[in-house]
Amino acid sequence: MNIKKQTIMTTITLNYDARNKNISTLLDVIKNLGAVVIDAPHKSGLDQALEDVEKGRVYTAKDAKSLIAQCLQ
C-alpha cells in the first residue's frame, strides 16, 4: 500500500530591524537548518525599469514604422 505524505506550507512575513544582531543571528540559524525557503523580494515595476536602463535594455525608435521594423528583426 502506497501512502503519499502531504506537505503543508505556510507563509510567514517578518518585519524586523536588520541591524539587531540577535535577530539576524537567529534568522541565520533558522535558514541554516534548511527548514525554511526564503523567496527573494519581488522588484517593483519601477525597479525593473531602472535596472533595464542600467543594463542597456532600452531601445528607441524614430517613428512607428522603425519600431515595427526593430521588432521584426
Q: Read off the pLDDT of residues 47-66 as tens digits, 9 standing for 90 and up.
A: 999 999 999 999 899 999 99
Asked, for residue 2, whether it belongs to a domain, the answer is: no
- Percent of the chain residues past pLDDT 90, beyond the cut: 38
Report the C-alpha gap between 30 and 24 in whole angstroms.
10
DSSP 8-state secondary structure symbol assigned to residue 63: S
Buried b / exposed e over 47-58, threshold 16 CB at 10 Å, is eeeeeeeeeeee
Asked, for residue 3, whether it belongs to a domain, the answer is: no
Q: How many domains does the chain have?
A: 1
Asked, for residue 6, whether it belongs to a domain, the answer is: no
Whole domain around residue 33: which residue ranges? 21-72
User: For the CA atoms of 51, 53, 59, 63, what is the dihedral angle to 10 degrees?
Assistant: 120
Asked, for residue 15, whether it belongs to a domain, the answer is: no
Looking up cell 536602463 gives: 53
Asked, for residue 37, whether it belongs to a domain, the answer is: yes
Asked, for residue 4, whether it belongs to a domain, the answer is: no
Asked, for residue 8, whether it belongs to a domain, the answer is: no
What is the predicted pLDDT for the residue at 49?
95
Asked, for residue 41, whether it belongs to a domain, the answer is: yes
What is the predicted pLDDT for the residue at 48?
93
